[in-house]
Structure 1
């Protein structure tokens, strides 16, 4: 599920899977088979994440809920001091939350609804597709196997849950390894809503690569490992990123531009260190202000 999503659907969303735009558009309905809504996901990912990566109150891919504190301007609750521990158990629920909770919140919620910043009105067609996709998904991937397969219902249910748990872990790694670590930047805007850096430099400041030389990682993550190349050239198919990344690295070194690439294990470790640090009240003695 997740490998198909990040290797094919993600490219189609950026118009980079097929030559003709209509073919990319048709392929986007794969997300409905997953039980989600591609129209909503495009608003989240294209209009918010790619336009404003790591920008507080705009990047909905990073800002999930108050369960986890990542942005410096997010409220700090007492339970956040344990987030570097309990998120190990919550991250595997990512896809279940996405399909059965978050989609509805983005469609109908009023609190911290970032989607409504870029959408005036949600088309009625998408509301029907939202409910229809979830019903169809549960029928063909859960209920039909329970009826047709000569297996106990609880075994099918366990397999379904396992798919979501392991798929979520794979998907979350792609997100947290490329944007959210202990050295992550969260640039704010000025009074007019402008960022201090140019669009391209901003992408390089807030985006990181991981395990770029690993053929296995590149296969599983569909170019997400070359995430800087993706954010600079989102309309290019991910199979070209291994050839683009060395050019970016050369230019970054020549013109003193920010570029970061690290091994997979470092990315994960750094993310949970960031969660630990963001879960406690900042001390001015350790933030560089004194």
Structure 2
């Protein structure tokens, strides 16, 4: 696109949309493993490939804290798992404050899923970086300034080649190129948000809270089983495209293992779960997983808190 060879509006949007699928594939199939340190046995290779996230407008430093530390350590714990933190008009936890408009979130949430990566590349990464500094995650000397400067430089590079250069080179109105760019990110945001949120915002998943002493009632492994869900395990194309993240349980109990091993590990992990009395939640198809995710969003919109109520209402919705 940046060569100026594109003169068709249809081709412009088609190429940007294909790039949207490509960015989602990079994020889930390459970056995700690399930042977990599981893409390669070589630490330098993982670091380099982790920067692929920066090349598509986001930030590896922010993701490492938000995902590796906060999400994987405190999965589905309100006010601790950053994946549950959302604007007031979205409710991902039964313990979050309820507003009347949440009853419609299962309808309008898809728009906000779609614009999620636009939020990342513009403002959210900067907001999170500052918040993580205040939380003590960037407390080494000049660490925050270096991270902020690096993030700004990477984002300027991304906007230069993904948006500014096409505007200068392509003989089409700038606003069409901007719309194509937004459509690319809408595809990426929708795909990434669905995959990651669908693994945890499900009727069967638990949203446990610590006791007064700050302790959880089960250990970390039991917690991961209780808060995570697999889906569409026999879909080979999906497994390839989303970097094995349909095997979310295997990923959460073994986050430092490359996703190419999840299929072989699944039988062992499921047997271990049953042996110790842990749940092993699986949705047979992608359609069933999306349907149940919608059900859970509707339930959260109705201010459901008790697990028994969630199970009863899920039966009613089905």
What secondary structure sits across from 1:270 in the alignment? helix
Report deviation, 1:143.
0.8
Tell me if structure 2 keeps the 8 A contact 1:91–1:172.
Answer: yes
**What is the rounded CA distance, in whole Å, between the counterparts of 2:305 and 2:210 in structure 1?**
24
| Match in the other structure for 1:216 | 237
* 2:66 corresponds to 1:44: yes
| Match in the other structure for 2:24 | 2
Tell me if structure 2 keeps the 8 A contact 1:82–1:279.
Answer: yes
What secondary structure sits across from 2:199 in the alignment? helix
**What is the rounded CA distance, in whole Å, between the counterparts of 2:255 and 2:138 in structure 1?**
25
| Match in the other structure for 1:147 | 168
Within the candidate set 104, 107, 127, 1:85 is matched to: 107
Tell me if structure 2 keeps the 8 A contact 1:93–1:168.
Answer: yes
Report deviation, 1:88.
2.3
**What is the rounded CA distance, in whole Å, between the counterparts of 1:96 and 1:139 in structure 2?**
15
**What is the rounded CA distance, in whole Å, between the counterparts of 1:16 and 1:282 in structure 2?**
37
RMSD over aligned Cα atoms:
2.0
Identify unmatched segments of 5+ residues in structure 1.
none
Tell me if structure 2 keeps the 8 A contact 1:223–1:241.
Answer: yes
Tell me if structure 1 keeps the 8 A contact 2:202–2:229.
Answer: no
Tell me if structure 1 keeps the 8 A contact 2:113–2:194.
Answer: no
Q: How does 1:156-195 map to 2 (within 5 A)?
A: 156-195=177-216
TM-score, length basis structure 2? 0.83
Within the candidate set 23, 29, 49, 1:27 is matched to: 49
Identify unmatched segments of 5+ residues in structure 2.
1-22, 311-318
| Match in the other structure for 1:16 | 38
**What is the rounded CA distance, in whole Å, between the counterparts of 1:281 and 1:3 in structure 2?**
35
* 2:159 corresponds to 1:138: yes
**What is the rounded CA distance, in whole Å, between the counterparts of 1:63 and 1:186 in structure 2?**
13
**What is the rounded CA distance, in whole Å, between the counterparts of 2:46 and 2:138 in structure 1?**
25
Tell me if structure 2 keeps the 8 A contact 1:204–1:259.
Answer: yes
Within the candidate set 127, 135, 143, 1:117 is matched to: 135
Within the candidate set 226, 229, 249, 2:250 is matched to: 229
| Match in the other structure for 1:128 | 149
| Match in the other structure for 2:15 | none
**What is the rounded CA distance, in whole Å, between the counterparts of 1:268 and 1:34 in structure 2?**
26
Greater mean alpha carbon deviation, residues 88-97 or residues 208-217: 88-97
Tell me if structure 1 keeps the 8 A contact 2:106–2:294.
Answer: yes
**What is the rounded CA distance, in whole Å, between the counterparts of 1:49 and 1:283 in structure 2?**
21
Q: 1:157 to 1:283 in 2, by over 3 A?
A: closer
Report deviation, 1:64.
2.5
Count of residue pairs the alignment pairs up: 283
Within the candidate set 278, 297, 310, 1:257 is matched to: 278
Tell me if structure 1 keeps the 8 A contact 2:76–2:200.
Answer: yes
**What is the rounded CA distance, in whole Å, between the counterparts of 2:86 and 2:126 in structure 1?**
13
* 2:113 corresponds to 1:95: no
Tell me if structure 2 keeps the 8 A contact 1:83–1:279.
Answer: yes
Greater mean alpha carbon deviation, residues 252-261 or residues 220-229: 252-261
